[in-house]
Amino acid sequence: MSVLEIKGLTKSFGGVLAVSNVDLLLDEGEIHGLIGPNGAGKTTLLNLISGLLLPDRGEILFKGVNVTRRPAFLRARMGLARTFQITNIFKEFTVRTNLELALLGRYTNYRNLWTKVPPSVSEKAFAVACEVGLTSQFGLVAGQLSHGEQRALEIGLALCSSPQLLLLDEPLAGMGPKESEWMVELIRRIANERSLTVLIVEHDLDAVFRLAQRVTVMVYGQVIASGAPEIVRSNPDVQQAYTGS
């Protein structure tokens, strides 16, 4: 069963065609890598899927529902969550408070931030912290965390909405080899345990090829290849796009 189906998606900015007639299909429970050189249109595509941008043409079907013109918050309520290239957390708050606020966002009747947080929410926040490897950092201010830990917290914030589709925009950016390996295993474990469908944009090709069941390659806004990692890796057009040879 497909969780996400994109048909002929197109978006331009002035005279620049950022996404051109893109088709994409994500099956339930798969980790799908989206790669391509800088300026290929990958983040623009994520913005279209998540609802931060509206396409000029094409359709986006999420769980069989046409969400092409639905705003981002309605897509989030349906089970679509994402992270960003630049870590998007409350650095002045503790890990606990970050997660509690994310969880409280699901309660439409909760409006007063000064009201005591219900114990059930605090318990859930701790469970999510454990899930993303931040058990011992639960009481720390988020700004004190390492770069990798801050990335993990952002994933935790996304998980607070109990998503079915998780969009990850360069989650390994700025990490060293050790942190990158830790993040790859974290993403794989979360996806498996939650039966999550994941679309990951990443420049670390080795990580993508280890993590993803399928990989799609974009160049100048167009898809030039899509399939199993070993097939995509050996594709001459993909090699040309990255090496110029």
CA 71 to each of CA 38, 50, 51, 141: distance values in angstroms, whole numbers, following the listed order: 27, 8, 5, 32
**8 A C-beta contact, residue 242 and residue 37:** yes
Determine the straight-line distance between the first and last CA of the chain, rounded to whole angstroms.
Answer: 38
Q: Which of 48, 107, 54, 110 lies closest to 82 in space, CA to CA?
A: 48
Q: Model-level pTM?
A: 0.93
DSSP one-letter string for 12-49: EETTEEEEEEEEEEEETT-EEEEE-STTSSHHHHHHHH
Domains of the chain in start order, with CATH, are 1-79+165-175+196-245 (3.40.50.300), 86-162 (no CATH)
> What is the CA 107 to chain-centroid distance, rounded?
23
Q: Residue 7: beta bridge partners?
A: 59
CA 96 to each of CA 25, 103, 107, 224, 237: distance values in angstroms, whole numbers, following the listed order: 36, 11, 17, 43, 46
Reading the chain (245 residues) residue by residue, the pLDDT tens digits are 799 999 999 999 998 999 999 999 999 999 999 999 999 999 999 999 999 999 999 999 999 999 999 999 999 999 999 998 877 899 999 999 999 999 987 764 555 556 678 889 999 999 999 999 999 999 999 999 999 999 999 999 999 999 999 999 999 998 999 999 999 999 999 999 999 999 999 999 999 999 999 999 999 999 999 999 999 999 999 999 887 65
CA distance 41 to 43: 6
- Classified as helix, coil or strand, 86 is coil
The count of other CB atoms within 10 Å of the CB of residue 63 is: 17
- What pLDDT is attached to residue 242? 83
Angle at CA of residue 195, ends 223 and 9, nearest 5°: 25
- CA neighbours closer than 13 Å in the CB half-sphere of residue 96: 14
